[in-house]
Amino acid sequence: MVNLVELWLATTVRVLVLVGMLIIYLLLSAVVTIARLHFASTDDSDVSPEIAKASIQRIQKHWYRIGQATYAVFFLFGIVLFLVLQRVGVTIGDGNPGWAANQILRNFTFSCAFAANVFCGFLVLHVLQWFISSRINTSLETLASVRLRQT
């Protein structure tokens, strides 16, 4: 018979690793993006505005794909969370009814604490994407104003 606790722990660890990898990738990608935006939007660089705009648009597409991956992991986490919550009432042992109720409450509390931590991670990811998106839009507006000044 499959031990539900081991199955649950294996599933939640996999989701946590996936969320952790996404957070690390986003942080590294944000640093690289800020550096690329700074280089592309400086007025004294010898890069033409058209090349800089194309580079910033590639960055914008890259962050769009990152956003789609974040949404996919978010929904995967939601599925796993609700599958785990279905098994909160499963207890193994022959204790009295008070013991079983206490065990169910502990399982539910642990699941909620796990979900709260992961949702905080997703909030950090969302704020980071929001910040990078505003930097990209600012860089595109700066390039548009440079182009208007040159004509």
pLDDT of residue 31: 92
pLDDT of residue 7: 64
CA 46 – CA 56 distance, rounded (Å): 16
Mean of the pLDDT values across residues 117-146? 86
pLDDT of residue 1: 41
Mean of the pLDDT values across residues 84-88? 74
Whole-structure pTM value: 0.71
Domain housing 27: 4-41+49-150
> Could you read off the pLDDT of 21-71 as tens digits, one per residue?
888 988 899 999 988 888 776 666 677 777 888 888 899 999 999 889 888
Q: Where are the beta strands (DSSP E) in the chain?
A: none
Number of domains into which the chain is organized: 1
- Which helix H or strand E contains 65, and what residues bound it? helix 49-86
